[in-house]
Amino acid sequence: MSKSSLTGTRIRARRNLRGLRQSDLAQMVGVSPSYMNLIEHNRRKVSAPLLQAVAQALGVSEDALVQDGDIRFVEGARAAALRTDANLADLERVDEFAGRFPGWAKVLADTQARVERLERVVEHLSDRMTHDPYLGAALHEIISAVTSVQSTAAILNDSDDIAPEWQARFHENILNDSKRLAEGAVALVNYLDTADDTESGLAAPQEEVEAWLARMGFHYPALETMPLADLSRLVEGQVELSSDASRVLALQWLVRLQEDTRALPLDPFVDAMMELGAAPDQLAQHFGVPLPQVLRRLAMLPADDDRLTAHAMPGLVVCDGSGTLVLRRAVDGFPMPRFGGGCPLWPLYQALHCPGRPLRVTLLTDGRMGRRFTAYAICAPEMAPGFDIPPVMQSTMLVVPDSGPTNLPAGQQPLVVGGSCRTCAQQDCPARREPSILVTFA
Amino acid sequence: MDKRVLVIEDEPNISEAIRFILTRDGWHVDVTADGVAAVGALQTNPPDVLILDLMLPGFSGFDILKTLRANPATQAMPVLMLTAKGQAADREEAERLGVTRFMTKPFANAEVVAAVQEMTGT
């Protein structure tokens, strides 16, 4: 096939890049939509006057439509130019540039793609530094110790008339905080030194999907009405989803979330919450749906809905039968590991031992700044049971922040849990599977 | 009668230092690390100024501030929020909830004294 015989293909590619419908372009150049369709499928030749009109409508040179320049290079070069202070008048000639110097255009496009990829990596690493629960807690501990040392030292330095007992007390405080500061710094260095190589690289597909869902606030209004066939469009061109694997995974979750939103449409669901409260079991009974579906739906509600201001946005963790975490929605104050399993005491894992039985447990997160949560968990089969096929189970846990006075019966204490053994300081925990990096063992 | 400051801070050495510098400046200072219990006491016996740590176990400084601002008796109480988290998002959230002053740790002692004086017009 000659180069010019692919003119229709190039016209279609250029039209799509500019977001024009086929019928719009047809109208702009004075032909029928059906004729334009035949042109774009290379089944009609394009006359010289029509080619000129199409090129003008698309804002490109005629050469760009008849020569075999790679449109990726053109767009790459254009994107590179738009990032700089380059003279935008030259931007009109980017097609000409790519046509005359395809090798240089490729270099420019490849460089631009690399810059975009590296920017995503930097953004991801920065996000990780900000949201790593252990780093946050460790830095808080260090800053608190520094604050105490600085403030106490300033009192001793600025005052000549401090009573001896106060002097002794402040000296002791400084000594204790200095030790704490040293231990905190050592623990922090250990944490950074022992981080796996995998933790410093690019994100795994699951992380990318979680980052993408997080950017959308774990809510996609269009899901309720969008046809199933159109879901794949939602995962295309998303900055976070850099690989085919992450896009496949994202699509799988979209399909499942769509099932959830269709079974539990937003308005009736919120109305039921207003009437019944956010108790997952009551909502499941009210709508006649499985409990895991309600747990997922509660974690996928819009954060900016005025009707939901009284409800704290919960976190969500889902694991398969092996205990591998397959989805995490973070919630402030409840640490979730980025790699490996979570705390063995989580009701998420307890539920795996008693499929079909809902668990509700009050949790207190490990550490001096521990926070209380109510966890709702249940394990259920992923598919209909059948003979000669192994059961595939999945456990789901909703984690709801629990502020204010506790509702626990008198004498009953919340269950203390961590994020993972590595970053949990509970030394006497019977479920510990590896030493904590936060504790200095004598 | 001395003006009263209540410090809700779970770091005992920090609250001890704050208690010392404000007592020396003529304030009566009460200290607690229990945010939930303090909220109840604040309604019945409100101090002239509240110094509130953001990161408290169980019931955060934001939770306490929200509760205070929802109650007419404590709605206008001057609140100085201290935090080791200096992110803009925390400051914005504190301002949205009606904090009077926001100060990041580590702080200078003189800054705390000046802020308390300024908030009470002394």
Please report, for chain B, the start and end positions of each structural domain, with discontinuous segments joined by +: 4-120
Instruction: Find chain B residues with C-beta within 8 A of A176's C-beta.
Output: 13
Task: Please give the helix or strand (H or E) that residue B8 lies within, else none.
Answer: strand B4-8
Out of A82-96, A103-117, A327-341, B23-37, the most confident range is: B23-37
Q: CATH assignment of A4-115? A: 1.10.260.40
Residues 150-209 of chain A with CB under 8 A from chain B are: 150-152, 154-155, 158-159, 166, 169-170, 173, 176-177
**What is the C-alpha separation between A97 and A104, in angstroms, rounded?**
9
CA A346 to chain centre: 22
Which of A139, A144, A159 lies nearest to residue B14, judging by beta carbons?
A: A144
Strand partners, A325: A319
Q: Is the full-model pTM beyond 0.90?
A: no
Q: Please compute the mean of the pLDDT values over residues A159-188 and round it to a whole number.
A: 87
Of A86 and B39, the structure prediction assigns the larger pLDDT to B39
Which of B10, B36, B105 lies nearest to residue A147, judging by beta carbons?
A: B105
Q: How many residues does chain A have?
A: 442
Q: Can you tell me the ipTM of this complex? A: 0.89
A156: left (phi over 0), alpha (psi -120 to 50) or beta: alpha
3-state secondary structure of A335: coil
Which of B14, B56, B57 lies nearest to residue A147, judging by beta carbons?
A: B14
pLDDT > 70? residue A394: yes
Of A74 and A256, the structure prediction assigns the larger pLDDT to A256
Do residues B21 and B113 touch, judged by C-beta distance below 8 A?
Answer: yes
- B interface mutation test: which of A135, A147, A178 has the most B CBs within 10 A? A147
Q: Residue B42's closest CA among B86, B88, B2, B7? A: B7
CA A407 to chain centre: 33
Interface contacts A/B by beta carbons within 8 Å: 72
Q: In what order do the strands lie in the sheet with B101-104?
A: B28-32, B4-8, B49-53, B79-83, B101-104
Q: CATH assignment of B4-120? A: 3.40.50.2300
Give the pLDDT confidence of A81-100 residue by residue, as tens digits: 777 765 666 777 777 777 77
How many beta carbons lie within 10 A of that of residue B27, not counting itself? 23
Give the pLDDT confidence of B55-113 residue by residue, as tens digits: 887 788 998 999 999 988 899 999 999 988 766 778 888 999 999 999 999 999 999 99
**What is the C-alpha separation between B18 and B12, in angstroms, rounded?**
10
Query: Between A133-158 and B109-120, two packed helices, what is the crossing angle to 10 degrees?
Result: 90
pLDDT classification of A434: cutoffs 50, 70, 90: confident
Instruction: Give residue for tokens 């929605």.
Output: A329
Q: Residue A112's closest CA among A75, A76, A70, A69? A: A76
Q: How far is B16 from chain A (nearest CA, A)?
A: 9
Q: Are strands B79-83 and B101-104 parallel, antiparallel or unpaired?
A: parallel
Question: What ranges do the domains of chain A cover?
Answer: 4-115, 132-194
Do residues A57 and A24 touch, judged by C-beta distance below 8 A?
Answer: no
